[in-house]
Chain A
Amino acid sequence: MRTAVPAVPQYIIWRDERKISNRNTPPTTQTQTQIAHKKYNTRNMKFITTNFVKCAVKTCDSSVDAFPLQYSDCQIVQEELEYNPEFIVHMLERLEWNAVVKVARDLGNESLPPVKPEGLDPIMEDDQVILRDLHTLLVETQIVEGKMVCRNCEHIYFIKNSIPNFLLPPHLC
Chain B
Amino acid sequence: MGVPSLPSEAVAPPKDHEQQWVHDVYNEIAPHFSLTRYKPWPIVEKFLGEQIDHSIGLDVGCGNGKYLGVNKKLYMIGSDRSLGLIDCAQSNSGNLFSLCVADGLHLPHENGRFDFAISIAVIHHFSTEERRIDAIRHILSKIRVGGRLLVYCWALEQEKSRRGYKEGDAQDVLVPWVLQKKTKKSLKGADEADEKSEKEEKKVEQETKYRYYHLYREGELIDNAVKAGGVVVEHGYEKDNWWAIIERV
Of A22, A23, A49, the contact of B98 (CB 8 Å cutoff): A49
B100 touches A42 (CB 8 A): no
- In this complex, the interface size class of chain B, counting residues with CB under 8 Å from chain A, is 20 to 34
Of B90, B95, B98, B111, the contact of A52 (CB 8 Å cutoff): B98
One digit per residue, 1 when the CB lies within 8 angstroms of any chain B CB and 0 when it does not, for chain A 129-173 equals 000000000000000000000000000010001111111101001
Stretch from B40-48, B101-109, B117-125, B172-180 forming part of the interface with A = B101-109
- In this complex, the interface size class of chain A, counting residues with CB under 8 Å from chain B, is 35 or more
Q: What are 15 contact pairs spanning A and B, CB under 8 A?
A: A42-B93, A44-B90, A44-B93, A44-B97, A49-B77, A49-B100, A53-B100, A90-B53, A163-B100, A164-B100, A165-B101, A166-B106, A167-B101, A167-B102, A168-B106
Known: A23-B94, A42-B93, A52-B77. A173 touches B103 (CB 8 A): yes
Stretch from A55-63, A100-108, A109-117, A119-127 forming part of the interface with B = A55-63
Most buried by A among B56, B81, B101: B101
Known: A54-B110, A165-B83. A42 touches B95 (CB 8 A): yes
Known: A52-B98, A79-B95, A165-B83. A87 touches B105 (CB 8 A): no
B residues within 8 A CB of A58?
106
Q: How far is the CB of A99 from chain B (nearest CB, A)?
A: 10
B residues within 8 A CB of A12?
none
Q: How far is the CB of A102 from chain B (nearest CB, A)?
A: 14
Q: Is A15 an interface residue (CB 8 A)?
A: no
Interface residues of B in 199-248 (CB under 8 A from A): none
Instruction: State the majority secondary structure of interface residues on A.
Output: loop
A33-B109 Cα distance, complex, nearest whole Å? 36
Q: Is A48 an interface residue (CB 8 A)?
A: yes
For the complex with contacts A44-B97, A54-B108, A166-B79, 17 further pairs of A-B residues with Cβ separation under 8 Å are A42-B90, A42-B94, A43-B95, A44-B95, A45-B99, A49-B100, A52-B56, A53-B109, A54-B110, A55-B108, A57-B106, A86-B54, A163-B100, A165-B100, A166-B103, A167-B103, A168-B103
Q: Is B75 an interface residue (CB 8 A)?
A: yes
B56 touches A166 (CB 8 A): no
Known: A44-B90, A46-B98, A87-B75. A52 touches B113 (CB 8 A): yes
